[in-house]
Structure 1
Amino acid sequence: LHAGKTMKEDLTVVAKCIKQLYPPEFDVFGTYAELYHHHFASQAKKAAESQLEDKDVYLLLSWVHNIYPKDMRKDRVLAEELEKVKLGSLLPSSLSKELEKKYLESEEATVKNSLSKCLEKEIQRWKEDKEPEKLNGHFQSELLAIFVIQSIYNAHKRAGDISAALGEELSRRLSAELAAFLRSYRDAFEDFKERSKKHRHYKPILIANINNCCNFR
Structure 2
Amino acid sequence: MFVRPLKMFSPINTAVLMKHRPEPVPVSPSVLEILQLVKKRDLFLADTHILELEQECTQSAAADPEDSTSLSVKDGGRRKAKDVELLYEELQKELWAVVRESLRSPTAGPNLGLVVQVLEQEEEVDKNWAVSEGAAPGGPRPRRLKQRWREAVEEAADSSLPQRAEFTAGDLDKYLDRIRARVVEDLGAAKRNAVSIYPEEFQAFQVYVESYHQAVASRLKAITDSQLEMTDIYSLLDWLHNIYSRDVLGTVCITSPFSRSQLSPLLPSETVDRLELDCLNSVRAKVTTELSQVLEEEEKKWMETLHIEEYQITLAKTVIQRLQVDLERSASINRRLGSRVAQCSLNGLADFLYSFQRKVEMFHEGMQSGMFGDNDDGYVSKTIAMVNCCPPFRYS
> What TM-score bracket applies, with the shorter chain setting the length?
0.7 to 0.9
Provide the C-alpha distance between the structure 1 equivalents of 2:357 and 2:208, rounded to a whole number of angstroms: 60
2:316 aligned with 1:140, yes or no?
no
Instruction: Return the index of the structure with the highest Cα Rg.
Output: 2
When residues 14 and 164 of structure 1 are mapped into structure 2, their CA distance, relative to the original with a 3 A threshold, is farther
Please list, as runs of the form range in 1=range in 2, the aligned pairs for 1:39-118 lying within 5 A after superposition: 39-75=215-251, 77-78=253-254, 81-82=257-258, 84-118=260-294
8 Å CA contact 1:123, 1:188 repeated in 2? yes
Alignment partner, residue 155 of structure 1: 326
When residues 130 and 73 of structure 1 are mapped into structure 2, their CA distance, relative to the original with a 3 A threshold, is farther
Normalising by structure 2, we get a TM-score of 0.49
Provide the C-alpha distance between the structure 1 equivalents of 2:287 and 2:262, rounded to a whole number of angstroms: 38
Q: Deviations over 1:134-175 (max 9, x none)?
A: xxxxx531x100111111111111222333322211111111
Provide the C-alpha distance between the structure 2 equivalents of 1:190 and 1:109, rounded to a whole number of angstroms: 26
Alignment partner, residue 204 of structure 1: 381
The one-letter amino acid paired with 2:247 is D
Number of residue-to-residue matches in the alignment: 211
Q: Deviations over 1:164-211 (max 9, x none)?
A: 322211111111111111111111111111122345111111111011
Provide the C-alpha distance between the structure 1 equivalents of 2:225 and 2:251, rounded to a whole number of angstroms: 32
Greater helix percent: which structure? 1
The one-letter amino acid paired with 1:181 is F
Instruction: Compute the displacement of 1:52 (Å).
Output: 3.1
Alignment partner, residue 298 of structure 2: 122
Q: Which runs of 5+ in 2 are unaligned?
A: 1-176
RMSD of aligned Cα (Å): 2.4
8 Å CA contact 1:64, 1:89 repeated in 2? no
The one-letter amino acid paired with 1:208 is A
Provide the C-alpha distance between the structure 2 equivalents of 1:94 and 1:115, rounded to a whole number of angstroms: 31
Provide the C-alpha distance between the structure 2 equivalents of 1:16 and 1:212, rounded to a whole number of angstroms: 62
- The percent identity for this pair of structures is 35
Please list, as runs of the form range in 1=range in 2, the aligned pairs for 1:176-187 lying within 5 A after superposition: 176-187=347-358
Alignment partner, residue 136 of structure 1: none
8 Å CA contact 1:140, 1:208 repeated in 2? yes
When residues 74 and 39 of structure 1 are mapped into structure 2, their CA distance, relative to the original with a 3 A threshold, is closer
The one-letter amino acid paired with 1:96 is V
Normalising by structure 1, we get a TM-score of 0.85
When residues 117 and 131 of structure 1 are mapped into structure 2, their CA distance, relative to the original with a 3 A threshold, is same
Alignment partner, residue 7 of structure 1: 183
The one-letter amino acid paired with 2:286 is T
Please state whether the residue corresponding to 1:131 is helix, strand or coil: coil
The one-letter amino acid paired with 1:114 is E
When residues 4 and 76 of structure 1 are mapped into structure 2, their CA distance, relative to the original with a 3 A threshold, is closer
The one-letter amino acid paired with 2:292 is S
> 2:390 is matched with which residue: 194, 209, 213?
213
Greater RCO, 1 or 2 (C-alpha within 8 Å, sep 6+): 1
Provide the C-alpha distance between the structure 1 equivalents of 2:330 and 2:309, rounded to a whole number of angstroms: 35
When residues 73 and 84 of structure 1 are mapped into structure 2, their CA distance, relative to the original with a 3 A threshold, is closer
8 Å CA contact 1:16, 1:77 repeated in 2? no
2:337 aligned with 1:166, yes or no?
yes
Structure 1's consecutive aligned runs of 4 or more residues displaced over 6 angstroms after TM superposition are: none
